[in-house]
Amino acid sequence: MSALPDDPEDSPMRVDKGKARAALPSERTPLLRDAHTPSSSEDYPELEQAYPRRPPWRHILSRFAYFLGLTLLFFGLALAILAAVAWSYAARAQRVSPDDVQRALVFRGPHRVDVLNVTDAGAIYVDVELDVGVDAGTVMDVNSDRDDNVLDRAWKSLGRWGVKRLDRVSVDLGALRLVDGDTLLASLSIPPIELPLTTNPPRGTSWLTTMTTHVLLHPTNRTMDLVHFARKSWKDGYINLRVDVDRVRVSGGALGDSSWRRRISQELHDVSADVKVEVPAVPGLPNPGHHFPPVSQLITLKDFRVASSRAGLLLSAEATIVDPAPDTFNITTPELPFFVSLPTSDGPPFQIASISTAPFTLTHPNITLHISGQVLPLTPNATHGVLSDFISRYLSAQPNPILLSTPYLLNYTLDAVFPAPSPRPRVLRDVTIRDMHIKPVGTTFYASGTVYARVVLPRGMDIDLNVSRVLPDVIVFDGEVPDDVDPEHGLPDPLPERAFGRLQPEEWIPADSVPDDHEGDEGSALAVRADIVDVPLEVLPGRQKEFSNFVSKVIFGHDGATAGILGTTAVGVSVRGLPVLDDGKPSEMDLRGLPFKGNVKVGKK
């Protein structure tokens, strides 16, 4: 029996014939075939099923690189276009001039002005409401135009998209100065504000945004410059002034924005803009283009009241003034203080009252003012002089010149007129002389008697008065006084019919008074009594015959004779609550020229 060889190489090679079963791979199967051995899926069908064939890695990398290149090229072109557009519009924005800003900034108003406070130094804090917008398309030249070609439309469309993304700008203004020629009218301080940006704005003002901003206004101390400017503007029909700004900084985005928008910024220096606004017509005033009327013609005193109190002599009034502002302009004021002074012929004016207006808003066509205040402490010279003259003229239905001033308008005094009451008040009523008799002493006749009268002040003068003396000037008639005789102007010339005598005491006659009843539409009322003793009766020139006839009636008449009396009187009064600086002089007022008319029964002594 032969043994099997130990070395397989020594074994004779087997020749496979036909379709034999393929040998399974083992640990001795080479990983790589010989180069001359062809590779076929038929060699290892089991591996083909277990590990499907994948695309070559070179092919995958090639396709990835292709798509990556296209993507980078697309974004590169887009970034280049955007960079070009951004550079173009950024460069254009850096070249914006003050004229461009003036053309692009559109505002309407102000529609409302609220005065918040007025300081003692004259500074005025106000809130201003107006409609505002910035036509950025005009400045950046991105607004649509019918003549634009396709490239222009695309280019401007990108620009408008950028403006829309920017949305708004923040504006920080330095001090603003309002100048008329070389005359400074006022300076303004405005906090930083936001202005919305718009492109392709529609017609009208619908695209504007309503905003309210705080303004600190410092009017010039030279108030007459403001008055002259206002009058000149009214006469010209236009407000012409220049606005100077030392610095304007414009930044992209809203206030406090820290995004990319903030990088868009520009600062302008020494910016000036001319403002020309047409003065609108105001009902109740002459049309602009004519001289502005005096202020006294614009004010109507509706009601006036003065009353005595423990706190002093209190004043209150209601007046209307023509509203000089346009219908779209609203203003709310705080309390406004004023001083009332009376002019003098030989010296500075006397301040007699401190008043203030209640807060008010503008109303058309007239503004209603509610005024309150009190009489200031006066010297006796003022009470005897200007104040006495003022009240006497008022009671005689004559207008009085007054001066108005306010601490908010330094070095300026407004001339005004305190109107006369209408109808003329009848202050002295029921004047008569009781127990009047005439006696001769030598060639002179003397009259004695007791004067009675009622003093009734006009409506609104609720004053506690005390009449302490009177000084009458009386024309005596034989019979009743004719109706057509005017008692105001002293001795008439020619003399009235049947007038024969004149009673004119040289000194004041003591008097006393007590409060009297009065009607609801009247002021305070007093019953006055004064004794006249041996006052000379002057016979008027050429009237001796009339005098003789009257004396005959007195002597031979059973009940005496009726005499008509006509004239004026001065009345010395003291007013409770009137503050007077006591320097040893009497603190009374003299009311002069009060007319009266009455009848007297005259008997013999």
Looking at the predicted structure, is the pLDDT value of residue 137 above 60? yes
Mean pLDDT over all residues of the chain? 80
Looking at the predicted structure, is the pLDDT value of residue 488 above 90? no
Q: Show me where the domains of the chain are located.
A: 98-278, 295-418, 428-602
Which pLDDT score is estimated for 57? Answer: 59
Which pLDDT score is estimated for 79? Answer: 44
Which pLDDT score is estimated for 146? Answer: 83
**What is the tens place of the pLDDT at every residue in 263-318?**
778 888 888 888 888 887 877 788 888 888 887 788 888 998 999 888 888 999 99
Looking at the predicted structure, is the pLDDT value of residue 52 above 70? no
Which pLDDT score is estimated for 81? Answer: 47
- The residue-averaged pLDDT of 341-351 equals 88
Which pLDDT score is estimated for 279? Answer: 84
The two tokens of residue 470 are 């009177």
Looking at the predicted structure, is the pLDDT value of residue 555 above 70? yes
Q: How confident is the model at residue 334 (pLDDT cuts 50, 70, 90)?
A: confident
Looking at the predicted structure, is the pLDDT value of residue 575 above 90? no
Which pLDDT score is estimated for 58? Answer: 58
**What is the tens place of the pLDDT at every residue in 456-478?**
999 889 988 899 999 999 999 99
Lowest mean pLDDT of 33-42, 230-239, 558-567, name the range: 33-42
Would you mind telling me the total number of residues written for the chain in this entry?
A: 605
Bridge partners (DSSP) listed for residue 428: 455
Which pLDDT score is estimated for 402? Answer: 92
DSSP string, 52-104: PPPPPHHHHHHHHHHHHHHHHHHHHHHHHHHHHHHHHHHHHHHT--HHHHHHH
Which pLDDT score is estimated for 440? Answer: 85
Looking at the predicted structure, is the pLDDT value of residue 511 above 60? yes
Looking at the predicted structure, is the pLDDT value of residue 587 above 50? yes
**What is the tens place of the pLDDT at every residue in 25-40?**
555 555 445 444 444 4
Looking at the predicted structure, is the pLDDT value of residue 14 above 50? no
Quick one: 568 exposed, middle or buried, by C-beta within 10 A (0-12, 13-18, 19+)? buried
DSSP-assigned letter for residue 387: I
- The residue-averaged pLDDT of 187-215 equals 90
Taking alpha carbons only, the member of 337, 382, 336, 373 closest to residue 353 is 373
Alpha carbon distance 112, 212 (integer Å): 9
Looking at the predicted structure, is the pLDDT value of residue 83 above 70? no
